[in-house]
Amino acid sequence: MRIVAVGLGLSLWVWGAFAQAPAKKRVAVFDFDNAAIQGGVSSPFLQTGLPNVGKAVADLLVNQLVKNGTVTIIERSVIDKLVAEQNLSNSDRTDPQTAARLGRILGVDAIILGTITHFDYEDKVTGGGGNALGGFIGRTSMSTKHDIRAKVQVTARLVSPDTAEVLAVSEGVGEIVRKGVKVDMRDTSSTVAMMSGNANNPIMNEAKDQAIVKLATQIEQNVPRIPPRNPVIEGLVADVNESGRLVLNIGSKNGLKAGDRVQVWRQGKEIRDPETGKVLLRDDTLLGEALVNTVNGPTKGRNRSRPATG
């Protein structure tokens, strides 16, 4: 990343090759989008729209990825806090360009954006619920038999935080079919859950779990497609003391992390296009390297680096 110090005549360049990359790729999982969902809940007793399951699916995916251990996951509360600080809506965070900007601030190698494309629940009564002795008199049966089909389909995109490029697409599908399921109409809580297809429905949850496991497996297979990051950051060197300590005016909001190794340059002559005035080349001089050892806060502030010893 390039940090120009106009007043001091110094600039910093943080090369991807010098960054101390973790053994695992760092990824951030954003809430999944519900907008493209097809279908809904269809039962003899209820006709409903889709529940908002985007956050729940994202949480389940995080749990599965952490369990598998292939990548390092950014804590979801950190993402939520950043979204709130940036005053973004839920729809904003599903936009690749906006998500890429947030990913740079978080310092991740990739962002996972997802869509729930199917969240379907069909319930057909196949028996029971009538007069136990026939006709309109006698004891009434309080149980019914149902044929139930639940389907959850989710897709996810691995997005580069530097270019907003979609690096890979993954998909997971879970489908559960149950025939002859007995439902006791006297158990109102279980009946509502079974017939509504909502978050408390065990069959719907089973299909969702299936889809998440398959999705996580595909995502992990695509992790090698995530390229090493070469971050680009603009900023200023605010101060240099006699011991060689540098104070920068950028922070974690810009993607700077403790442990980053930087090259320190003295700003040279700018060569500009005579027609447009655009800078074509700058004759900078490399002075040395430094190690970032303190990063203050999510916003621009005092961030210290010291000369590198190795």
Kindly report the number of other CB atoms within 10 A of residue 14's CB atom: 24
CB 49 within 8 A of CB 40: yes
Measured distance CA(85)–CA(77) in Å, rounded? 12
pLDDT digits (tens, 9 = 90+) for 113-134: 999 998 888 888 888 765 544 4
CB 62 within 8 A of CB 73: yes
Average pLDDT, the chain: 76
Q: Is the pLDDT of residue 112 over 60?
A: yes
Q: Is the pLDDT of residue 3 over 60?
A: no
Structure tokens given for 214: 């398959």
pLDDT digits (tens, 9 = 90+) for 226-268: 988 755 566 677 787 887 788 877 777 776 777 777 777 777 7
Measured distance CA(57)–CA(216) in Å, rounded? 11
Q: Is the pLDDT of residue 45 over 90?
A: no
pLDDT digits (tens, 9 = 90+) for 165-214: 999 999 999 999 999 888 776 655 555 555 555 556 888 899 999 999 99
CB 232 within 8 A of CB 100: no
β-sheet bridge partners, residue 149 = 122, 177
* CATH for 26-225, options being 3.40.250.10, 3.40.50.10610, 3.20.19.10, 3.40.50.720: 3.40.50.10610
Structure tokens given for 184: 């006791």
Query: Which among 33, 43, 71 is positioned nearest to 222, based on CA atoms?
Result: 71
pLDDT band at 9 (very low <50, low <70, confident <90, very high): very low
pLDDT digits (tens, 9 = 90+) for 77-105: 888 888 888 777 666 667 788 888 888 88
pLDDT band at 303 (very low <50, low <70, confident <90, very high): low
CB 120 within 8 A of CB 150: yes
pLDDT band at 142 (very low <50, low <70, confident <90, very high): confident
Phi and psi angles of residue 12, each rounded to the nearest 5 degrees, phi first: -120, 145
Which of 40 and 129 is assigned the larger pLDDT?
129
Query: Is 0.85 surpassed by the pTM of this model?
Result: no
Torsion region of 43: left, alpha or beta (phi above 0 gives left; psi -120 to 50 gives alpha): beta
Mean pLDDT, residues 53-58 taken together = 89
DSSP state of 136: T
Q: Is the pLDDT of residue 308 over 70?
A: no
Q: Is the pLDDT of residue 22 over 80?
A: no
- H or E, element range at 301: none
Domain boundaries, the chain: 2-20+229-307, 26-225
CB 146 within 8 A of CB 123: yes
Measured distance CA(146)–CA(140) in Å, rounded? 17
CB 184 within 8 A of CB 143: yes
pLDDT for 300 equals 42
Where are any strands of DSSP class E within the chain?
2-5, 10-13, 26-29, 41-42, 47-48, 72-73, 110-128, 143-159, 166-184, 237-240, 246-248, 261-272, 279-294, 303-307
